[in-house]
Structures are given as C-alpha cells and as structure tokens.
Amino acid sequence: MNDGPHSTPRTQMKVHAALLFAQLGFGGFPVVGKVVLAHLDPLALAGFRVLAATPILMAIAWSVDRVIPNRRDLLRLALLGFLGVAANQLLFIQGLHFTTATNAALLLPAIPVFAAAVAIFLRIERASLRRIAGIVLSVVGALVMLEPGRFQAGDLTFVGNLLILANCLSYAIFLVLMRPLLERLSAVTVTAWAFVFGGAGVLLVTTPALVEVDYGALPGSAWAGLAFIVLVPTVLSYLINTWGVARSSASLAATYTTLQPLITGFLAFFLLAERVGWPQIAGGLLIIGGLHQVARASNSSTT
C-alpha cells in the first residue's frame, strides 16, 4: 500500500523534493537536447530515448515489484502510455517543427490549468480557492518570465501552437488519470508499463529516423548527451515524478511543471551563456509563491 498523500510532514517534504528534482531533470532536457540535436534528427532522439529507457525501467520494476498488472490495469496503463509517453513526446516534437521554442515554452504553463480542470471535472480532486489561486499565480509567473510579447504567430506557427497545446492537454490528463491507478500499483510499475505501451507507439513513428542515423559518426558529446537524456529526464524524472504524484495530487505535480522554463533558463545561462533578466527573476518568485499556495492546499485536503 502506498503512503497516504499527506501522512507526515517528513513525507510531504520528500514529495516536494521529488517533484522539484523531477523538474530539474525535465528542465535540463532542452539544454542538453540542444547539443544532441546538432547531430541527430528530433524523431531519432525521441525513438532512442524510449528504446533505451524502456528496458531499464522494466528491469527496475521487475527487480523491485515482480508484478504483472491484471488485464483491466494493463488497458489503463496502455492509455497512460499513449497520453504520457507517445502523444506527449510526438506532439511536442512535431509542434516544435512548426513553431518556435519560445512559443512552446509560453504554452507549457497550460499544463497545470488543464490538469486542475480535468481533475475537478472527474471529481478526482476538489476545487479550493487556495489551489486555484496558486495555479493562477504560478502560470502568471511563468508567463512573466517568458515575456508573452515574444510570442509569434503565422499559418504554420498556428498549427505548431495547436500541437503544443494538445501535448499539454495530453500530459495533464496523463497526470490526472495516473493518480487512481497508483492506489493499486507502485510508481515503478506504472512508469515502466506506461513506457512499454507508449514506447511502442513512439517507435512505430520514429523507426525510419532511427535506421538512418550513422551512429559511428556521432561525437562523444552527443553520446554523453544521449546518456544524460535517457537516465535523468527520462528514467529518473519519470520515476520520481510518478512517486510524487502517488503521494500528493495531479494538480501539485502539474503546477511544478511551471518551474521547467525557470530551470531551463538558469541552466542555459550557466551552460550556454544565454541571458537571464529581471522578468525571469520576477517570474520565478511568482512561481515559487504559487507553488507554496498549491502545496498548502494539497496538504490541508485529501485527494
């Protein structure tokens, strides 16, 4: 049986630390991915990511749990794999193909809004003024940091923006639907089997790109980046994020995603010499304030 979502202050601290670490991994992906994509097609990167991560996750799950989910749960895990792995990755990559990285970053704060709406609609979570206020504050902070004036429009850009929004909705539903399943299965098992099903969908689309890669010509920096992407923002971040959802709420985990632009920005500043200005600092403070409110709402109610 999983721990209760609000069992002890120590457990709550572990949950917040886990969700924060997961965002550190997810936020590091664009920075390291920028290095890898100089040598690899985006679809090949997506395919390599799931092809390498899935057996690692299954080996961890089998060594820890040795559980094969029943038929009903396998169907739900297939849906989670479609939403959180296949659709999440492919929609984002195809969206980036048509729109700009700035537009994509500006649209990602839709995730906690979608997650809260879906969770409340399905009666998985209860609405509260503090929860909603915290989500709004975090979204505003992310938008302040990303400077909406940089948003670009255009015919193909509009298509890309819609695909990114579809990606946000897919991942938000994934977070919400995962929470009830985690009452019966461990975070490790849920993550691994979601990757089995979702990874199969990704490979159907990305196999041609994977076959065309000249792996012998990839430099050491690309291989190091691939190793990081597989182990940190994929294996570790997905596992730890799922563990955090199991002990908190989908809304809290989704609100933590607003930290990703902040983390990416600061990592890009230190590793790629990209600028960080006052909008990024002010937006970061608003995000932290919003997270605090959502955390208080999550700690004072059961999910």
> pLDDT confidence of 211, banded at 50, 70, 90?
very high
Entry pTM: 0.80
DSSP 41-97: -HHHHHHHHHHHHHHHHHHHHHHHT-----HHHHHHHHHHHIIIIIIHHHHHHHHHH
Closest CA to 136 of 289, 296, 280, 301: 289
> pLDDT confidence of 269, banded at 50, 70, 90?
low
Q: Looking at residues 53-66, what average pLDDT do you find?
A: 95
- Please enumerate in sequence order all residues whose Cβ is within 8 A of that of 242, keeping only pairs 6 or more positions apart, or say none: 178, 182, 187, 188, 190, 191
Q: Looking at residues 41-57, what average pLDDT do you find?
A: 94
Q: Looking at residues 51-59, what average pLDDT do you find?
A: 97
Is it the case that residue 195 has pLDDT exceeding 70?
A: yes
- Please enumerate in sequence order all residues whose Cβ is within 8 A of that of 280, keeping only pairs 6 or more positions apart, or say none: 145, 262, 265, 266
Q: Is the dihedral of CA 186, 191, 194, 195 positive or negative?
A: negative
Q: Looking at residues 164-172, what average pLDDT do you find?
A: 87
How many helical (H) and strand (E) elements, i.e. helices and strands, does the chain have? Answer: 14, 0
pLDDT reported for residue 1: 36
> pLDDT confidence of 70, banded at 50, 70, 90?
very high
Q: In the chain, what are the domain boundaries? A: 9-299
pLDDT reported for residue 263: 74
**Cβ–Cβ < 8 Å for 118, 275:** no
Residue 110 sits at the vertex; the CA angle it makes with 158 and 278, to the nearest 5 degrees, is: 95
Is it the case that residue 4 has pLDDT exceeding 50?
A: no
Q: Looking at residues 234-251, what average pLDDT do you find?
A: 91
Q: Looking at residues 239-268, what average pLDDT do you find?
A: 82
Q: Looking at residues 101-129, what average pLDDT do you find?
A: 74
Is it the case that residue 259 has pLDDT exceeding 70?
A: yes
pLDDT reported for residue 202: 95
Is it the case that residue 175 has pLDDT exceeding 70?
A: yes
Cα(201)–Cα(223) distance, rounded to whole angstroms? 24
> pLDDT confidence of 93, banded at 50, 70, 90?
confident
More confident residue, 98 or 15: 15
pLDDT reported for residue 293: 62
